[in-house]
Chains A and B, each alone.
Chain A
């Protein structure tokens, strides 16, 4: 068991190093950061001095080595755009992204499960057909289009909800800010959370629907009916419980991608989170932010996968045997 864990951790580290290396090779093609830092009419001598002071004239491998060495000390450098430590910038932006991702996941899970169950139980009702159609839209429309449509309907035409930003935030401790405690903060959360969660919601809905219909055909449900249990108890006490096992696994895995793919939603809603920071960093060739963000997302996925693998090991006896050998 221990050997398995160590092996998985070593593999994870290898993945992280490759993420960093690939990112670094890509940075050679995103452009020259110095041209983004100063005006076009800056004297060339000044530009050269800037390049040298940033170490951009060194070979890629030297830059990569320096980056790895600093990253090992949790030092990701200073942003080219804001002249602030990248760790501080990411920490300031993390609460916004995490709150958005959490709300989106919650929305996807609750609404997805309810709609899925309804579609499975009342397969032929008109509402189930509407849900199916909605889920098709959720799967096929790109996120930015959904976001812009929602903005135009609810912010521009109806004027009910804000189109951008986080509203008023309340500060907790040193760096955590929350929008959950103010009216404008909660209102600002609605549209981006729906946009970000819509795809996951449709995924969960379809999964629940299929699983539930499968479960409803099993013998123990038939037996429960024969025993004369109330329909309600059969549906929610027996069928739903068994349906949810794979749903929870998927939902857990999807949380990582919700955080990672918040980039587009954050851009459309000008949500001051890590994704927006990353996108601006790409436009401005802010290599320290890009590198740190990619490492963070890599770390997130590696950690989630590691935990899932370990959890499987604990849950599934067959895997436990395989691990021992």
Chain B
């Protein structure tokens, strides 16, 4: 009896398996190296997670294929009172996936929720900003100080339904350190072009096209199946065998193989992330060096020598296999023009500068480097070690996984590094973030310069940074940004290396737009 039952179950399952999917169904299968860890849009501010959730949730604004800011859930907005007051006109007739109408109440609720304790997106909306409902689809935002880039990151400040969140005990954001599972971390209810059909964390997430979406559809998909595949070789094999249609990323060394296959191709392009070297210029004595009693990096000549000794073109050609854009600036050319800035390679002059600074025979310094965070990060560091050896500097490389690396070099670890490699993408896509976060003077109790691991400090740059934040005249603002970068490059605050390249693997029958911030957005995908 039990065996017969089993046979029946097996037979039914096989029959179900054979059932053909409905005509016209287009399923796109997508694999990424990272997981989709929480569906709560305020838990983790990270590009991949934001891109995933961007299929389901929407912000008041949106960013297009070229990253230009456009209307989203807000149809239009007016800037009043010298950027101190903003009025948003919300889109009418928009419905959440569960059928509720989208109104001003949801925006006000989301503005409180995103700033609440536990949210990883608190900086999206300034603390003092006051949201006032004018009518059901109009909102005023009053700021304490003018802010022309208020909406720079609002495309990923996703609007959550007030009624739904409150009814499901999810009015408070799920903190990254949540100790109890929350409803909203496992379920989603947005206004976006896709809704989540099923979600098994770390295994599989199925998105279905939202037939009632307000916007103009630019994809032909009915379903997206997302699987995290952390192992590089497995991910590439899955693409080459046709089991998935899109993968991100393709390891650089596998690019020729993917391109030579008849099933897939690599979509490559510049990314906004800048990879750079930094040095401790704040301690009176380096933690890891044979120079005692003083810090060589406090001497601008030593910093210049390091800049001159690193050959960015060789790193591009040898380590990055051509997939990098050498950069003289700490920000990508897509975000701020690099005209007037250039980098030089001159080891002879570097040697002379070192001798002038009192190190004719060089010195020894320890270097911290991640080996699983950026594209070929460990190899870049090895190349740098070789290049610095040519000017007599002996670098003791400590390349380690990101978990250990960040624990050591970030503020929480006490900035315990003398020389390091890091990558930075300004979350706002604006120079102010670069100047504030990684060039600002560190001070206790202030977020300024928290990621400025080497402790570079120039009060003049700080003053300019503050003015840049509130200046609403674009031409004047750009002139000030340029002035600030001129100071920091003249003082060799960092050794900018390059903007790394994006590499996505895409099946030949799929058309996809690649956005420079590395967001894989499949609502622009078409599959034949």
Chain A residues proximal to chain B, CB less than 8 Å: 29-32, 34-51, 53-54, 77-78, 80-85, 89, 92, 148, 151-152, 155-156, 159, 162-165, 168, 170, 180-184, 267-270, 272, 276-277, 279-280, 283-285
B450 touches A284 (CB 8 A): no
B510-524 interface with A by 8 A CB criterion = none
B451 at the interface (CB under 8 A from A): yes
Taking A31-B406, A159-B242, A170-B9 as given, write out 6 further A-B residue pairs in contact, using a Cβ cutoff of 8 Å, ordered by the A residue number.
A31-B402, A32-B413, A36-B403, A85-B181, A170-B13, A272-B204
Q: For residue B43, which residues in chain A have a CB less than 8 angstroms away from its CB?
A: 83
- Contacts of B167 on A, CB cut-off 8 Å? none
| Nearest CB of chain B from residue A279's CB, rounded to whole Å | 8
Question: Which residues of B (215-246) have their CB < 8 Å from a CB of A?
Answer: 227, 229-231, 233-234, 237-238, 240-243
Chain A binder among B61-69, B70-78, B169-177, B477-485: B169-177
Give the CA-CA distance A180 to B14 in the complex, in Å.
10
Can you give 26 contacting A-B residue pairs, CB < 8 Å? A30-B403, A31-B401, A32-B413, A34-B177, A34-B412, A36-B402, A37-B44, A39-B44, A41-B427, A42-B45, A46-B122, A50-B176, A77-B179, A78-B179, A80-B176, A80-B177, A83-B38, A92-B200, A151-B233, A159-B241, A164-B237, A165-B227, A181-B9, A181-B10, A268-B231, A270-B230
Interface: B155 (CB within 8 A): no
Determine whether the beta carbon of B181 is less than 8 Å from that of A272.
no
Q: How many B residues face the partner with a CB closer than 8 A? A: 65
Could you give, for residues 280-318 of chain B, a 1 whenever the CB lies within 8 Å of some chain A CB and a 0 otherwise? 000000000000000000000000000000000000000
| Contacting pair A81 B412 (CB below 8 A) | no
In the bound assembly, the distance between CA atoms of A184 and B200 in angstroms comes to: 19
CA A159 to CA B238, docked complex, whole Å: 11
In contact, B178 and A83 (Cβ under 8 angstroms): yes
CB pair B240 A156 closer than 8 Å = yes
Chain B positions 9 through 34: 1 when the CB is less than 8 Å from some CB of chain A, otherwise 0: 11001101110000000000000000
Residue of B nearest to A85 (CB): B181
- Cross-chain contact of A162 among B233, B243, B451 (Cβ < 8 A): B243
**B203 x A267 contact (CB < 8 A):** no
Asked whether any CB of chain A lies closer than 8 Å to the CB of B404, the reply is yes
> Per-residue CB proximity of B158-191 to A under 8 Å, as 1/0?
0000000000000000111111111001100000
Contact of B177 among A50, A163, A280, A285 (CB under 8 A): A50
Q: Write the nearest CB–CB distance from B453 to chain A, whole angstroms.
A: 10
Distance A80 CA – B411 CA, assembled complex (angstroms): 21
Known: A83-B185, A85-B181. A50 touches B175 (CB 8 A): yes
| Alpha-carbon distance A283/B202, docked complex (angstroms) | 13
Q: Are A268 and B233 in contact (CB under 8 A)?
A: yes
CB distance from B102 to the nearest CB of A (A): 27
Complex-state Cα separation, A98 to B17, whole angstroms = 23
CA distance A36 to B182 in the complex (A): 20
B412 touches A82 (CB 8 A): no
A50 CA to B119 CA in the complex, in Å?
A: 11
Specify which chain A residues have a CB less than 8 angstroms from the CB of B45 in the assembled complex.
38-39, 41-42
Interface residues in B407-441 (C-beta closer than 8 Å to A)? 407, 410-413, 424, 427, 433, 437
Cβ of A280 and Cβ of B35 under 8 Å apart? yes
